[in-house]
Structure 1
Amino acid sequence: MAVENISDSIAMDSGKAIDFSSMKDSIQLRHGNYFILLSLLFFQFVNWCLKSHGPPKSLKDDEWKWRNLWVSWFHALITSVWVLTSFYRFPEVFADVILHVNYYTFFCACFATGYFTYDLLDVVINNKARAMWEVVIHHIMVAGMLYYNVYLKAQIGFSLIAMTVEVNSIFLHWRKLYQMTQVPFSSFKYAVVKYLNLVSFALFRLFPLAYITYTLFTMYHRVSLVYYVLIFVTMACMDLLNAVLFWRLVKSDILRGWASRGGTSARHSSSNGTGRHKSSPGLSHSNGNNNSISQNVATSPKKHA
């Protein structure tokens, strides 16, 4: 299969077979547990710094949501750099996404486990669990699967590929932060972020998840039945969810923009024909609606990174 061809190619380039068993034996689980705790404390510190600094004056929404989004943005940025450098430094990870492990990639999975554990606790402690029940379920599943991989010191390659979605999360959260601070939908900086969000969504969210789904059909015999069932159900849900989310983003940021411009042109034409200047209020109302719709669309996908 494709993965086996990659493995053969890497082995030929290196001139010798990769000893994955010795890589696993060199990793100590207690180091991973310590790093997960440090990750959790780090994000709590980031949250404390944001709380001490306070939200911008233009914020019209919930301050906790603003802080929570910023913490998520920092996680997405750090994890994205970590994952991409992992692929650059250790291309042999693709030789065996199940057995490959070293401290650099192992700690990356630990870092993400600490974040999702932190964020789950943040939601529960701030009494948001009932309103954000889907986030609670998502985080329990993700943190559980990540820690299972950390505990076994296996499937780290799968974890890294899955975490490439954080590249898109940078722009997804950035878009939402702009909306919360009332950045105009028609502004240049919002337009840049929304297009980067859509492009990165396809490259770093849809494609990696499709790759993992494909490998489920080629590597099912190398994992336990329980793990296979859990990851298969999780990926089926994530594939469907992200396809729907991508369509909603396109509809909100692209199709509604075209419809808005068409409606504005029609109102200007009507105004010119009757001699009444009503186009400006109409345009202002339209932009307000677009911002409201975009805010609603960005609320639910916030934690699907």
Structure 2
Amino acid sequence: MRVELSEGEPERDTRLPFRGCPARNVFTIGLPLEKTSCEKAASCTRKKSVLVWPETLRDLHYYHTPLSYLLVCISTGYFVQDTAEIILMGHARAAWEFLIHHALVICCFLYTLYTHLYVAGAVVTLFVELNSVTLHLRLLLKLAGATSSTAYRVNKMLNIWTFVAIRLAAQFYLTWYVIKNYSELHNAAFFMCALMTTNIMMLMYLCRLIRSDFLRHVGGKEYAVRNGTHNSKKFLSD
């Protein structure tokens, strides 16, 4: 939107400053979705305020509740919206790995919604949104140029801890479950391929995260610039 100005007066662009910027998605969609996912993923394992581990964590194939099914519905809509946002904003080439991840998640979640199978497994995967909170905070701090601040140092420790203790733990638990019950699961081969692909991607992300936040001195200034916020061609910096 542009404002009509009198002749001779320079034109001012009044468009939103975050349009096309990763921060826009973080504030308007990412963080609210993560809060909802974490709260509902936790509540899906509760019954009268008591944690019910056997049903939710042992029967990832058949067990589900109306609340857990609703959570998967909401999360599927988020991944569809985020995929469309990446493509429409022109970030598809730079964010191809995110698109692959989102495509796998959307396919698995749509199968879950259609068949009512693996709903508990989908809920377990959404616990990784706890780590996404620290990842998004890391991005915001980098965009603000606050990589030398105490907040960034604290967040990077929380980020690496939640990445390993929550994100990777959830991924590996799901992989173990599918391998253990492979002969009894519906379309186990499809889910095994999807899990192995995302496992590889998660390990690659972990290596990049460690290299960027804990080994920044390697390669000197050139490495820091190449993996900081100065590279505008990347959708998200390492």
TM-score interval, smaller chain? 0.7 to 0.9
CA distance in 1, matches of 2:93, 2:235: 19
**C-alpha spacing 1:221/1:78, structure 2 compared with 1 (3 Å):** same
**C-alpha spacing 1:289/1:182, structure 2 compared with 1 (3 Å):** farther
SS of match in other structure, 1:117: helix
Greater helix share, structure number = 1
Q: May I ask how many residue pairs the two structures share in their alignment?
A: 216
**C-alpha spacing 1:126/1:255, structure 2 compared with 1 (3 Å):** closer
* Residue matched to 2:236: 299
Q: Deviations over 1:132-164 (max 9, x none)?
A: 333223222211110110111111111011111
* 1:108 alignment partner, one of 40, 48, 71: 71
CA distance in 1, matches of 2:235, 2:213: 11
CA distance in 2, matches of 1:158, 1:145: 10
* Residue matched to 2:7: none
* Residue matched to 2:4: none
Q: TM-score when scaled to structure 2? A: 0.80
What pairs up with 1:121-270 in 2 under 5 angstroms? 121-183=84-146, 185-224=147-186, 227-256=187-216
* Residue matched to 2:21: 64
Runs of 4+ aligned residues of structure 1 deviating over 4 Å after TM superposition are 51-55, 294-298
CA distance in 2, matches of 1:167, 1:52: 32
Task: Please report how far the alpha carbon of residue 238 of structure 1 lies from its aligned counterpart in structure 2 after TM superposition.
Answer: 1.5
Tell me if structure 2 keeps the 8 A contact 1:176–1:298: no
The aligned amino acid for 2:227 is: I
Task: Please report how far the alpha carbon of residue 95 of structure 1 lies from its aligned counterpart in structure 2 after TM superposition.
Answer: 3.7
Task: Please report how far the alpha carbon of residue 54 of structure 1 lies from its aligned counterpart in structure 2 after TM superposition.
Answer: 4.8
Tell me if structure 2 keeps the 8 A contact 1:179–1:291: no
What pairs up with 1:11-26 in 2 under 5 angstroms? none
CA distance in 2, matches of 1:298, 1:209: 24
1:80 aligns with 2:38: yes
CA distance in 2, matches of 1:189, 1:298: 23
**C-alpha spacing 1:214/1:186, structure 2 compared with 1 (3 Å):** same
SS of match in other structure, 2:39: helix
Task: Please report how far the alpha carbon of residue 190 of structure 1 lies from its aligned counterpart in structure 2 after TM superposition.
Answer: 0.7
Higher Cα Rg: structure 1 or 2? Answer: 1
Task: Please report how far the alpha carbon of residue 209 of structure 1 lies from its aligned counterpart in structure 2 after TM superposition.
Answer: 0.6
CA distance in 2, matches of 1:86, 1:216: 21
Task: Please report how far the alpha carbon of residue 84 of structure 1 lies from its aligned counterpart in structure 2 after TM superposition.
Answer: 2.0
**C-alpha spacing 1:128/1:249, structure 2 compared with 1 (3 Å):** closer
Tell me if structure 2 keeps the 8 A contact 1:105–1:156: yes
Unaligned runs of 5+ in 2: 1-13
* Residue matched to 2:61: 98
The percentage of counterpart residues that share the same residue type is 24
Tell me if structure 2 keeps the 8 A contact 1:73–1:174: no
**C-alpha spacing 1:133/1:151, structure 2 compared with 1 (3 Å):** same
**C-alpha spacing 1:186/1:127, structure 2 compared with 1 (3 Å):** closer
Q: TM-score when scaled to structure 1? A: 0.63
Unaligned runs of 5+ in 1: 1-50, 56-61, 264-285
SS of match in other structure, 1:154: coil
Q: Deviations over 1:200-243 (max 9, x none)?
A: 0011111111111111111112223xx21221111111112211
CA distance in 2, matches of 1:186, 1:127: 31
Tell me if structure 2 keeps the 8 A contact 1:109–1:159: yes
